Amino acid sequence: MSVELIVVIASVVITWLIFTWLVKVLKASLSTAITIAAILLILQLVFGIQYQTIWQEIIKLPEIIWQLINKN
């Protein structure tokens, strides 16, 4: 076996590993995005809570956690 063949095989294997990793990351990202969208849709349709309200609470969350930590 020549060195060039080994390099080509190694590069194909590395490319395949990177590609499969990228596909897994994209699947996880899409799954998370769809879950978040479904939760927001349910909150809006069932309870009438707008996404802006949720966003405001998310922004306040670090401050609330900080206050809970400092009380002890």
pLDDT single digits (tens) 12-40: 999 999 999 999 999 999 999 999 999 99
**Residue 71's pLDDT is what?**
82
The answer on pLDDT for 72 being more than 70 is no
pTM of the model: 0.65
Residues sharing a CB contact under 8 Å with residue 54, sequence separation 6 or more, in sequence order: 40, 43
The pLDDT-based confidence of 1 (bands split at 50, 70, 90) is confident
CA distance readout (Å), 61 to 15, 26, 49: 41, 28, 17
Domain boundaries, the chain: 3-71
Residues 30, 1: Cα–Cα separation, whole Å: 43
